[in-house]
Homo-oligomer: A and B are copies of this chain.
Amino acid sequence: MLNHIRIVLVNTSHPGNIGSAARAMKTMGLTELYLVSPEQFPHDKANEMASGATDILDQAVIVETLDEAIADCGLVVGASARTRTIPWPLFTPREIAEKIKAEPPHPVAILFGREQSGLTNEELQRCHWHVQIPANPAYSSLNVAAAVQVMAYELRVASLDQTTFSEEWDYRLATADEMEKFFVHLQEVLVELDFLKLNAPRKLMTRLRRLFFRARPDVMEMNILRGILGAIQNNKI
C-alpha cells in the first residue's frame, strides 16, 4: 500500500519544510516525493532538516505544474484546512487512510499546499477527496511537514493491519489526466450546446467536477462518457 502513495508538495516556500517532510515520510515508510515549483530546491537547509532521509530528497521529482505531478494517478486527495464554498467529500486522516487501503494498486497522490495559503480552490478541485486534520479551531495552523507526518502516520498504521488491496473492479479507474481531458471535452460540449456561458459560468463546471470525481469513472465508463460527448457534437444543429 505505502509504495503506491505519492506525497506532492505544491509551491513550498521554505526548503527546510521540504526536508522535514522527507524525514516524516521516511519514518513512516513513504518514499515517493513530488515537488511542484518549489521556491528553493535543492537547498542545504532541506538536506539538514531531512536528517537521515536525504535519499528521499535525492529521488524527489520536481515538476512545474500540478498536472504533471498527478497525471497518472488513479486517486488524488488534497489536504484542506478550510471549508469551501462548495462542499467536497471531506474525510479525516484516519478515514482517508482506510479508504486508500481499499484502493486498487494505482498511484495515489496526496497534495499539501503552500505554508501561508495552502492549496488554491482550483487545485482542490483537481481532487477526488479532501482530507482535514481535526485541529484546534482556535489554532489550526499545522506546519506542512507536521501535516505530512500525521497523514503518513495514519497511512502507516492502516498499512500495518494488512497490505493487500481488496477492491475488485472490472476496469482500472481513470487517471487524473484522463479526468482532465474529459472535463475539457465536457466543457467544450456544454459551450456548444449554449448550456454553459463562459462569461457567466456560475459554478457549473465546479459542480460537475465534484459530481464526476465522486463517481470515480473507470476507463470503460470514461469511454462511454466521451462517446456520448462525441455523439452530441455529431448531432448538433
Contact = CB atoms under 8 A, between A and B. Distances in A.
B224 A207 contact: yes
Nearest to A170: B87
Contacts of A149: 142, 146, 149-150
Interface in A65-105: 86-87, 90-92, 94-95
Nearest to A93: B153
Contact of A232 (B20, B146, B193): B193
A117 to B, nearest CB: 15
A157 interface: yes
Interface in A117-146: 132-136, 138-143, 145-146
A164 B92 contact: yes
Interface residues of A, number: 68
Interface stretch (A34-42, A175-183, A210-218): A210-218
A95 B135 contact: no
Contacts of A232: 193, 232, 235
Contacts of A156: 134-136
Nearest to A137: B29
- Chain A facing B: main interface SS: helix
Contacts of A150: 149-150, 153
A228 B193 contact: yes
A59 interface: no
| Residue among A23, A28, A192, A204 with most chain B CB within 10 A | A28
A192 B235 CA distance: 9
A90 B165 contact: yes
A214 to B, nearest CB: 5
Contacts of A227: 195
A199 B107 CA distance: 40
A215 B227 CA distance: 19
Nearest to A195: B231
A201 interface: no
A58 interface: no
26 contacts: A23-B142, A23-B143, A24-B142, A28-B136, A29-B136, A53-B139, A87-B169, A91-B165, A94-B163, A132-B165, A134-B156, A134-B160, A136-B156, A145-B146, A146-B146, A146-B149, A149-B149, A194-B235, A195-B228, A207-B221, A211-B215, A211-B225, A214-B215, A232-B235, A235-B236, A236-B236
